[in-house]
Amino acid sequence: MISVNQKWVSPNRLKGNLINVLECKSISKWYGETAVLNNVNFDLAQNEIHAIVGENGAGKSTLVKIISGLVPVDVGSIKFEGHDRTFAHIREIQNSGVALIHQEPRLFPDLSVLENVCVDHQIREKNKRFNWKKAEEETKELLAELGCSFSVHSPVKALSVADQQMVDIVSALRKKLKLLIVDEPTASLTPSEVQRLFATIRKLNASGVAIVFIGHRLEEVLEISTRITVLKDGEVVAVKKSSETTEDELIRLMVGRNIAASTTNSKSASSRVSLKVSELESPGFVSGVSFEVKQGEILGIGGLVGAGRSELLETIFGLRKRTAGEVISTTHGSIKSVKQAISAKVALVPEDRAHNGLFLNRSINENLVITNLNLSSKGGKRNFGKEKVVGQELIEKFRVKLSSASQLVRELSGGNQQKVSLAKWLKQEVEILLIDEPSRGVDVGSKSEIHQILNDAAAAGMSVVMVSSDMRELIELSHRIIVMRNGRIAGELSGSEISEEAVLRLASGLTTAGRGN
Amino acid sequence: MAVKVNSKISYIFKKREFGIFLFILILLAIFGSIEPRFFRSDNLSAILSSVGILMVVGAGQTLVIVTRNIDLSVGSTLGMAAMVMGLVARSRPDFPIMGLILIAMVVGGICGLINGFLVSFGKIPSIIATLGTLAIFRGAVFLVSDNVQIDPEDVPKDIISLATTSPIGIPWLLIFALLAIVLVWFVSSQTLLGKRIYAVGSNPEGAISRGLSFNRITIMVFVFIGVLAGLGGVLYTARYATINPADVGRGLEFDVISAVVIGGTNIFGGSGTALGTALGCMLIGILSNGLTVVGVSPFWKACATGFLILLAVAIDNLVRRRQEENFLLAIRNQRVAK
């Protein structure tokens, strides 16, 4: 079996000289003022499956995007097989045998499997036509070897995600593959699909392809990898041999040691339930989710990226089609559409402010009053004087830093944009606030102000459902935390049960702590 | 499972092209029964000539739309190519016909190159870039011709005979049209380049992360449609024997884009076939001629064509949505089975 693979491996890889295939030295990367990676060293030996673990936003994906040339590095150097590749063009990096496979396969849905595999084939001999027959045979051979049974002629959009990943891998294999990077490949796979993928990865590794594996499920990471690098807030906190570490140790490393430092929200909520969600179902994202939120309560929703948290909020709000289940506001009745949600005084502040929450090219004032036009207009005609007053009130209340209320929203910092986004909803008497990643991409100062706003709103009787990947935020703000995994509720934590470790355990499916479902 | 879905898709696609074909037959029957003159050979050859010009340009437009772009300037490009060719023919009556055809294609290619650069390196959305060049190229036609038309006696007989004479039973004009369609079919289904063109339209980000040269492919398809529009200019001259700066190719973009969209090319890129475009061109040509022949007013004619485009896109959306739902269902069943 392995021998078939060897023709895809360059000859010098088989001699067994154990130099590092990849050496990254002091890699740093900033997005705006935020350092995503800070002085990261990463190396990869031959015949190694090197895993990278870390919480959401620890910089894992950025690191591999830099390695594969998709994102330029700010500081540092990258050596591949001894050659400097720090500023190499993506095509150069790919042609030297590096392939990156994302969670969402980078494929062409309209093309067939065969066409997807061959599309970037380089014809080296001049005047030689591409030999489709030969390519088809080779592709079939590779697919069969990986245990795939689908036809090479089926369009890629007709395949499952797992099969699409296989196509992605085969595309990489057709070139002389030396380094394969898989970025959270198992998030949407079934257990048997995961096993097939792992078998493939091991087979490739045995035939001389170095592997970088990014994973959230620590059990899987320990199973597949030989070495593990732990990232936290863009820095390497540890490099461990997989055989010498445990899931518990990894979680401790990912979370950091100052677990005790975070305090949970001890203020009590009232006992009146304001929102009831029962057996909510949205195919592919949310299944069988039930929970209640009390008045004045902040309910945190934790979980990994792709667990269905944002989709849950969208389904509750009526943005996403639901196939079963009910959402009931105890004061306004059943909610089935966005219109009903808004009239039931439910508001959604989405994660992607730039696209969903704000009109970037309009003024601050217009953004603020757009959802409050009934306060400042009469008979469909806007009252600009009144708009100004309403806007000014909000700006002061939310401490938005600006030069003038007619400034465009796109000119504001991330934190202030988020405040505008919040303010425009909170002016109306919102009873239930659904908020997705309240402080993503926000500076520390604005972050604590946003937290204060949310706490005040809850204290004033608002119910808040908050999705957050920021563990600290989740733990400090929430009265109660629901952890999602694969579209389901993996468990619920409240009071003293709440800890970063407990959330992480539930999110990665480790144990069912607390009250499971 | 995947194989099953696959056969279903090709079934739908076949059904779509078959559907256009059926619609063409119905139109022929209706027009023929209302006005028997519709089937007279001179009318049929008039239809074929206009269909031929549409096909040549439509073949290029198919690939442009497949890459998520659009070329609105085709009418002006065709006009520019025809006019420059006509001017050369008028000043040098003994210029060889092959040379004239080459000149038209080169002029068209240059127009396409300009569009390609604006869209790729200039990063101007193609709908804006080609809207601009639509006006610029038209203006250039007036400038180079001094607003004087090329009269029939100045057009070489050899050019005019392209629309009438025939080596194998069908006029040269149609042979060119079929060659253009076959060329697009060949490139899109048989070559790696074709697959790259479709890949860029199917998933632009994916194309970049697979190292495909985005700009090169964009420029290539625009030059291609430019060259074909240049050839279209030759065929236009062959058919009408007059090159009027205001009329030559005016409004062609509407018919061409309609034909391509009716033929099933996805306006959001990634899919579309040469056969579909060929059928779409026939449909537009027959509809436009038939409505005139049976005496429908030109105003209603415009409405009818517009209505047809909307209908085609609406049906397309329906089919696509049904398809996607079927995929999801199939994949789900597949998972449940496991």
Contact B6 A130 (CB under 8 A): no
Query: How many beta-carbon pairs below 8 A join chains A and B?
Result: 93
C-alpha of B296 from chain center: 25
Number of domains in chain A: 3
Query: Average per-residue pLDDT in chain A?
Result: 80
Does residue A171 belong to any structural domain of this protein?
yes
pLDDT in tens, B280-317: 999 999 998 999 998 888 888 888 888 887 887 787 77
pLDDT of residue A13: 43
- Region A356-385: what's the mean pLDDT? 74
Chain B residues closer than 8 Å to A110 by CB:
198, 201-202, 266, 270-271
Is residue A114 a part of any domain in this protein? yes
CB contact under 8 Å between A95 and B211, yes or no, is yes
Q: What is the mean pLDDT of chain B?
A: 88
Is residue A14 in some structural domain?
Answer: no
**What confidence score (pLDDT) does residue A285 get?**
83
In this structure, is residue A234 part of a structural domain? yes
Average pLDDT over residues A190-198: 81
Instruction: Determine the structural domain holding residue A398 and report its residue range.
Output: 358-427
A70 close contact with B: CB closer than 8 A: yes
A448 shares a domain with A319: yes
Q: Does B9 touch chain A (CB under 8 A)?
A: yes
CA distance A370 to A425: 10
Where does B2-337 sit in CATH, by number?
1.10.3470
pLDDT score of A14 more than 50: no
Q: Which among B192, B201, B334 has the least Cβ separation from residue A130? A: B192
Q: Is the pLDDT of residue B4 over 70?
A: no
Residue A390: band (very low, low, confident or very high) from pLDDT cuts 50, 70, 90: confident
Token reading at A74: 């700010």
Query: Does residue A123 sit at the B interface (CB-CB below 8 Å)?
Result: yes
Biggest distance spanned by C-alpha atoms of chain A:
81
The more confidently predicted of residues A245 and B315 is A245
Residues in chain A closer than 8 A to B334 (CB atoms)? 160
Length of chain A: 517
Give the mean pLDDT of B29-34: 92
Q: Please answer yes or no on whether A151 and B211 come within 8 Å at the CB atom.
A: no
Say if the Cβ atoms of B198 and A109 lie within 8 Å.
no
Compute and round to an integer the Cα radius of gyration of chain B.
Answer: 21
A226 and A108 in a single domain? The answer is yes
Chain B residue numbers touching A116 (CB-CB < 8 A): 199
Do A121 and A135 form a contact (C-beta atoms < 8 A)?
yes
Q: Which of B232, B199, B234 is nearest to B218 (CA)?
A: B199
Q: How far is CA B34 from CA B21, B30, B291, in A?
A: 20, 6, 10
| Same domain for A92 and A134 | yes
Assess whether pLDDT exceeds 50 at residue A501. Answer: yes
pLDDT at A16 over 60: no
- How near does any CA of chain B get to the CA of A125, in Å? 14
pLDDT greater than 50 at residue B2: no
Same domain, A188 and A215: yes
Q: In chain B, pLDDT over 70 holds for what percent of residues? A: 91
pLDDT higher than 90, residue B260: yes
Q: Specify the 3-state DSSP secondary structure of B125.
A: coil
Q: Which residues in chain A are closer than 8 Å to B338, comparing Cβ atoms?
A: 190, 192-193
Closest CA to B55 of B173, B166, B221: B173
Question: Is A94 close to B210, i.e. CB distance below 8 A?
Answer: yes
Question: A2 pLDDT exceeds 50?
Answer: no
pLDDT at A443: 64
Is A187 strand, coil or helix? Answer: coil
pLDDT in the model for residue A517: 38
Question: What was the pLDDT predicted at A356?
Answer: 62
- The predicted pLDDT at position A383 comes to 76
Q: Do B209 and A150 touch (CB under 8 A)?
A: no
C-alpha B215/C-alpha B121 separation (Å) is 7
- Looking at beta carbons, which residues of chain B come within 8 Å of A100? 209
Greater confidence (A22 vs A449) lies with: A22
Chain B hits for A108, CB-CB cut-off 8 Å, are: 198-199, 202-203, 206-207, 270
Residue of B180 and A429 predicted with greater confidence: B180
Residue A238 sits in the same domain as residue A268: no
Of B201, B206, B211, the CB nearest to A94: B211
Using a CB-CB cut-off of 8 Å, the residues of chain A touching B203 are 106-109
Confidence tier at B220 by pLDDT (50, 70, 90) = very high
Domain identity same for A455 and A516: yes
**Range in A13-22, B146-155, B179-188, B252-261 the model is least confident about:** A13-22
The answer on A52 and A70 residing in a single domain is yes
Q: What is the ipTM of this complex?
A: 0.79
Of A402, A427, A452, the domain-final residue: A427
Nearest to A111 among B6, B199, B266 (CB): B199
Whether residues A365 and A237 share a domain: the answer is no
- Looking at the complex, report in whole angstroms how far the Cα of residue A155 sits from the nearest Cα belonging to chain B: 7
- The confidence score (pLDDT) of residue A15 equals 43
Alpha carbon A423 to chain centroid distance?
26
Q: Tell whether A12 is within 8 A of chain B (Cβ).
A: no
Amino acid at B330: A
Portion 213-232 of A in contact with B at CB < 8 A: none
- A8: confidence class by pLDDT, cuts 50, 70, 90: very low
Calculate mean pLDDT across residues A232-255.
Answer: 86
- Judgement on whether residues A73 and A163 belong to the same structural domain of the protein: yes
Alpha-carbon span A104 to B228, nearest angstrom: 38
- Tens digits of per-residue pLDDT, A17-71? 456 888 898 889 887 666 788 889 998 888 899 999 887 667 888 898 888 888 8
Co-location of A27 and A69 in the same domain: yes
CB A291 within 8 A of CB A489: yes
Can you give the C-alpha Rg of chain A in angstroms?
Answer: 25
Identify whether residues A24 and A142 lie together within a single domain.
Answer: yes
Q: Among the three residues A239, A257, A275, which one is the final residue of a domain in this structure?
A: A257
B319 touches chain A (CB under 8 A): no
Chain A residues in contact with B201 by the CB 8 A cut-off are: 110
A83 in contact with B at a CB cutoff of 8 Å?
no
Q: Is residue A289 part of a domain?
A: yes
User: What angle is formed at CA B198 by the lines to CA A164 and CA B262, rounded to 5 degrees?
Assistant: 115
Q: Which of A42-56, A87-101, A263-277, B229-243 has the lowest mean pLDDT?
A: A263-277
Please write down the long-range contacts of A143-151, taking CB distance under 8 Å and 24 or more positions apart. A143/A113, A143/A170, A145/A1, A145/A4, A145/A5, A145/A203, A146/A170, A146/A196, A146/A200, A146/A203, A147/A196, A147/A199, A147/A200, A150/A113, A150/B2, A150/B3, A151/A113, A151/B2, A151/B3, A151/B6
Give the residue among A120, A24, A420 at the shortest CA–CA distance from B210: A120
- pLDDT per position as a tens digit, B41-84: 889 988 999 999 999 999 999 999 999 999 999 999 999 999 99
Q: A119 and A234, same structural domain?
A: yes
Give the pLDDT score at B15: 64
**B2 CA: distance to closest CA in chain A (Å):** 6
Q: Quote the pLDDT of residue A103.
A: 65
In a domain, A353, yes or no: no
Looking at the complex, does the CB of residue A190 fall below 8 Å from at least one CB of chain B? yes
Is a pLDDT exceeding 80 seen at residue A179?
A: yes
- The domains of chain B are located at 2-337
* Domain stop point among A257, A289, A324: A257
CATH number at residue A452: 3.40.50.300
